[in-house]
Structure 1
Amino acid sequence: MNQKTKKTVRSTVVAFAAATALATTLPTGNAYAIDHIPCRAGENYLKIWSHLNGKDSVDCYANKGKISFGNWWVDRISTGNNDLIYSDANGDSVRVNRWTDITYPNRPPKVSYIEIL
């Protein structure tokens, strides 16, 4: 094998090894996506009580990320160990810090998306 061929083979092997190392050590995209999860007592997840068109819902979320909330009216938020930003139908973004339990009995916000920081 001549020098040029050896150099090309060596460069290809090094590039393949580097690509393999990156692929096996970097987290996948889904590892950091917000998850809609079952609510369980005693857990410190983000928990949101909401209603729309006569239907009530209680939803829990975990992990950093952003997700659509479908313009539901929010009655209560318990952030658990999560910092939260929600966007209401007016386009305002509101931050709610971790360990906060807040209710909106008279004028609930209509939330378009939520983001766990």
Structure 2
Amino acid sequence: MISKTKRIARSAAVAVAATAALTMIAPVGSAFAIDHIPCRGGEPFLKIWSHLGGRSSVDCYANGGRTDFGGWWVDRIYTGNNDLIYYDANGDSVRINRWTDITFPNRPPKVNAIEIV
């Protein structure tokens, strides 16, 4: 009976040690969850004016992360306090620094995804 108890205790100790070792070795990453939020005037969030097939939209986003943008044509971007990367339909990625207000009056990019970095 004593040897069985020792084996169980030893197995539990090994399991705890292995879990602790993996926890210390594995990098702890930040969870990113970009959020589509209501647009409000004067707020420093990412704001994008876009259109697709006769429909137009104004969308605001907060928090870091990446999300699908559905191939909409972007007319204007205000980054607010966010650095942005947009991924266009040509396969290019374009970085826009925070506090930038940019318009695309003649050749708007068709954007597949956006990322707040």
State the TM-score, normalized to the length of structure 1.
Answer: 0.79
Moved more, 74-83 or 31-40: 31-40
After TM superposition, the structure 1 = structure 2 runs for residues 70-85 of structure 1, keeping only pairs within 5 Å, are 70-85=70-85
CA distance in 2, matches of 1:102, 1:90: 20
- Where 1:4 maps in the other structure, the secondary structure is helix
d(CA) in 2 for partners of 1:9, 1:59: 52
For residue 106 of structure 1, report the CA deviation from its aligned partner: 1.3
Which 4+ stretches in 1 moved above 6 angstroms? none
Counterpart Cα distance in 2 of 1:35 and 1:68: 12
What is aligned with 1:36? 36
- The equivalent position to 2:14 in structure 1, one of 11, 32, 40, is 11
- Paired residue secondary structure (1:57): strand
Structural RMSD (CA): 2.6
Count, aligned residues: 110
1:65 aligns with 2:68: no
State the one-letter code of the partner of 2:51: H
**What are the Cα deviations for residues 56-88 of structure 1, in whole angstroms up to 9, with x where unaligned?**
100011111111111111011000111111111
Alpha-carbon separation, structure 1, partners of 2:17 and 2:109: 52
Question: Deviation at 1:34?
Answer: 1.1
Structure 1 residues 6 and 100, CA gap change in structure 2 (3 angstroms): same
Taking a change above 3 Å as real, the CA distance of residues 99 and 8 of structure 1, as seen in their structure-2 partners, is same
TM-score, length basis structure 2: 0.79
Tell me, in whole angstroms, the C-alpha distance in 2 between the residues paired with 1:109 and 1:6. 63
| Identity among equivalent pairs (%) | 65
User: How far apart, CA to CA, are the structure 2 residues paired with 1:4 and 1:89?
Assistant: 60
Is 2:51 the counterpart of 1:51?
A: yes
